[in-house]
Structure 1
Amino acid sequence: MSIQEGIEVATFAGGCFWCTEAVFLELEGVNSVISGYIGGKTIDPTYKEICGGETGHAEAIEISFDSGKISFGELLEIFFATHDPTTINRQGNDVGTQYRSEIFYHNEEQKKTAEDYIALMTAEDTFGKRIVTKISPASKFYEAEDYHQNYYNDNKSQGYCSYIITPKIEKLKKVYKDKLKK
C-alpha cells in the first residue's frame, strides 16, 4: 500500500469494532477507518469464525490518518478514553479474546509512544486498576465484511448502537470537541 507523505496507519483493538470505528471516524485528520481482524492465526477469517473465539484474531480498526493534523499520541489518548483497558478479553457485555485491548504498532516510534503512554497512565494510576492493553507488532489485517463498515452511521437506531455506541460518541463530542471534524 502506497502511503502519502504525512499519512500514517494506526491499528487498535478495543472491543467491538463498531464502537471504535464510530469514534475515530469523527476525528479531524482521520482519513479512513476500516473494521477488521488482526492478531490471530486464521487466514481470511469471517465474522462467524471470529465470534467463535478460536481464530486468535481481535476485532480491530485500521486508521489512516494525517500526522500533521492529529498525532499517534492523540489517537492513543482517545483510544484509552473510549474503552476499558483494564479488563482482559472483555468490553462491557462483549466477552472473548476477540474483544481484547491491544495496540498493533507499525513502527518503533508507535511502539515507544504506546509503551510510554501506558507507563505514564500506570504511574498516575489513571484507571485505579492495572492496564492490560497489549502492545504487539502489526500483522496482516483482514478487512471485515462490508456490512461491518461504517456500521454505526448506517444503523444508529439499532439497539446496540443507541445504547452502547451513542453514549461514547456523545462523550467524545463533549470532551474532545476541539479534535472533531468540522
Structure 2
Amino acid sequence: MTKNIQIATVGGGCFWCTEAVFLEVNGVEKVISGYSGGNVPGHPTYREVCSGLTGHAEVIQITFDADIISYEDILIIFMTTHDPTTLNRQGADRGTQYRSVIFYHNDGQKNIAEIVVNELSSHFENKIVTEVSALDVFYEAEKEHHNYYNQNQTQGYCSFVITPKLQKLRKLHADKLKTS
C-alpha cells in the first residue's frame, strides 16, 4: 500500500517545542528541526540564528501521511499549541527567529494555511500574527537539536516550557495522537 507522504514546514517559537508536539501526532512519520526564511547565504548555525541577525526562523519540517492526518489538521494542531498572536515571541523566547510562521510548499498548502488562520482568528482574543510565506530553503539544524525533548526531559526548559505544551496537545487533540 502506497502512503500519501507530504511535508509541512512551520515555526512557532523554539523548535524543540514544536518538534516534541508533532512527534506525538498520529500519521507523522518524522520531524526535523531546522531553519528557514532567512536572508543570508549559506547554511546557518544555531548560534547565528539565535543572534537574530540571519532572518531565519527556528522551524520544523514534518513528514506526514496525509491519508492518516490532513495538512489542515497539522496546521490546527500547530496553531493551537503555541501562541500565534505574539509577534516574534513565544514566552520568554524573543526575536524574529521565534516568529510564528507557516512556510507553504505549494499553492494548495498556501490556500489551506490562509483558510485555517482565518477560521481560527475568532478563537483568539488577540489578532493572529502568523506569517504565511512560500518555503524557499530549509536548512537542517545540528544533530544535537534533533529529538531534543525526549533526550533532555529533566532539563529546566523542557520541564517548564515543553511539558505544558505537550499537556495542552494531549488535552485538545487526544484523538489525533499516536496510541503507542
Instruction: Give TM-score scaled by structure 2 length.
Output: 0.96
User: What displacement does 1:28 show?
Assistant: 0.6
Distance 1:163 1:5 in 2: 36
- Give the partner amino acid of 1:119: N
Counterpart of 1:173 in structure 2 is: 170
**In the alignment, what sits opposite 1:35?**
33
Asked whether the equivalents of residues 3 and 67 of structure 2 are also in contact (C-alpha less than 8 Å), the reply is no
**TM-score, normalised relative to structure 1:** 0.95
Deviations 1:63-82 (A, max 9, x none): 00000000000001100111
Please name the residue that 2:19 is paired with: 21
Tell me how far 1:120 sits from its aligned partner: 1.6
Helix, strand or coil for the counterpart of 1:32? strand
1:146 corresponds to which residue? 143
Once the two structures are TM-superposed, the CA of residue 59 in structure 1 deviates from its matched residue by 0.2
Q: Which residue of 1 aligns with 2:103?
A: 104
Tell me the distance in 1 between the aligned counterparts of 2:95 and 2:124: 21
Structure 2: distance between partners of 1:67 and 1:157? 33
Q: Does 1:160 align with 2:162?
A: no
Residue 20 of structure 2 aligns to which amino acid in structure 1? A
How far apart are the structure 1 equivalents of 2:176 and 2:57?
Answer: 27
Q: Secondary structure at the match of 1:164?
A: helix
The letter of the residue matching 1:26 is E
Q: CA deviation at 1:174?
A: 2.1
Partner residue, 1:60: 59
What displacement does 1:175 show?
2.1
The number of residues matched between the two structures is 177
- Counterpart of 1:71 in structure 2 is 70
Residue deviations 1:29-84 (CA, integer Å, cap 9, x gap): 00000000000023200000011100010000000000000000000110011111
- RMSD value over aligned CA atoms? 1.0
In structure 2, the residue matched to 1:116 is 115
Unaligned runs of 5+ in 2: none
SS across alignment from 2:171: helix
Deviations 1:97-129 (A, max 9, x none): 00000000011111000111112223xx21111
SS of the aligned residue for 1:136 comes to strand
Measure the CA separation in 1 of the matches of 2:108 and 2:90.
Answer: 27
Classify the secondary structure of the residue corresponding to 2:123.
Answer: coil
